[in-house]
């Protein structure tokens, strides 16, 4: 059976504000909502070279990839809507181009998911960890 109870250590740091390092706050007081003055210097982090590079890498990866899968999906949809003759060509037995292209959408979804996860684990996560270290935030 599953463990239905979990230790409180795993909890979201938001809830247990005492878990946040006191060094974060210049006033030294644990604050329930971290979006008040005295929290981390977001402006400084935002303009740090590490953060700028993280943002650029993320956007350069996810935007083109999003466009790519959307274009590929819409190609399939438009073919299914307007190119009935092409989609009805039989490839093997009763299996036609429409079914093959439909299944290919399944394959590309899995491939894109795998590619992104690999990119995020190798490229994004270490950069995020470094920025968090520089900002003196404990890694979760």
Partner 1 sequence: MTPETLAAGLEGSDPVVNTAVFALFVAATLVVVYRASSRASSTSDYYAAGGAFTGRQNGIALSGDFLSAASFLGIAGSIAIHGYDGFLYSIGFLVAWLVDLLLIAELLRNTGRFTMGDVLSFRMKQRPVRAAAATSTLVVSFFYMLAQMAGAGGLVALLLDIHGGVGQSLIIGGVGLVMVLYVLVGGMKGTTWVQIIKAAMLLVCAVLMTVFLLGKFGFSLSNLLSSAADRSPMGGRLLEPGGQYGASGTSKLDFVSLAVALVLGAAALPHVLMRFYTVPNSREARRSVVWATSCMFVFYLCTLVIGFGAAALVGPEEIKGAPGGENSAAPLLALHIGGSLLLGIVAAVAFATILAVVAGLTLTASASFAHDVYANIFKRGKAEPKDEVLVARLTAVVVGVLAIIGGILANGQNIAFLVALAFAVAASANLSTLLFSLFWKRFNTAGTLCGIYGGLLACLVLVLFSPVVSGEPDSIIKNVDFHWFPLRNPGLVSIPFSFLCGFFGTLFGKSKADPALHAEMEVRSLTGIGS
> How far from 117 is each of 34, 61, 140, CA to CA, in Å?
29, 12, 19
Q: Is the dihedral of CA 135, 136, 139, 140 positive or negative?
A: negative
For residues 49 to 88, the per-residue mask of contacts with partner 1, x marking binding by CB under 8 A and - elsewhere, is --x--xx--xx--x--xx--xx--xx-xxx-xxx-x--xx
* Cβ burial 44-73 (10 Å sphere, 16+ → b, else e): eeeeeeebeebeeebeebeeeeeeeeeebe
Q: How far is the CB of 47 from partner 1 (least distance, A)?
A: 8
CA dist., res. 16 & res. 8, Å (int) = 9
Cα gap 140→125, rounded to integer Å: 12
What is the smallest separation between the CB atom of 79 and partner 1, expressed in angstroms? 8
Give yes or no for a contact between 137 and 40, defined as CB atoms under 8 angstroms apart. yes
Out of 6, 29, 49, 122, the only residue in the binding site for partner 1 (CB under 8 A) is: 6
Please tell me whether residue 4 binds partner 1 under the rule CB under 8 A: yes
SS3 90: strand
Binds partner 1 by CB under 8 A, chosen from 17, 46, 53, 75 = 46
Q: How far is the CB of 73 from partner 1 (least distance, A)?
A: 5
**Site for partner 1, rule CB under 8 A:** 2, 4-6, 8, 10-15, 34-35, 39-40, 42-43, 45-46, 51, 54-55, 58-59, 62, 65-66, 69-70, 73-74, 76-78, 80-82, 84, 87-88, 92-96, 98-99, 102-103, 105-106, 109-110, 112-113, 116-117, 120, 125, 128, 131-132, 135, 137, 140
């Amino acid at each position: 059976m599953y463990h239905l109870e979990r230790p409180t250590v795993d909890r979201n740091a938001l809830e247990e504000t005492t878990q946040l390092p006191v060094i974060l706050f210049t006033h030294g007081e644990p604050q329930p909502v971290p979006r008040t003055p005295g929290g981390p210097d977001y402006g400084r982090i935002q303009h740090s070279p590490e953060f700028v590079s993280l943002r650029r890498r993320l956007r350069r990866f996810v935007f083109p990839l999003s466009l790519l899968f959307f274009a590929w999906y819409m190609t399939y949809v438009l073919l299914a809507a307007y190119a009935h003759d092409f989609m009805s060509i039989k490839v093997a037995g009763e299996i036609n181009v429409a079914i093959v292209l439909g299944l290919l959408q399944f394959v590309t979804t899995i491939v894109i998911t795998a590619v992104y996860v690999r990119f995020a684990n190798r490229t994004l996560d270490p950069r995020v960890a470094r920025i968090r270290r520089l900002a003196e935030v404990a890694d979760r």
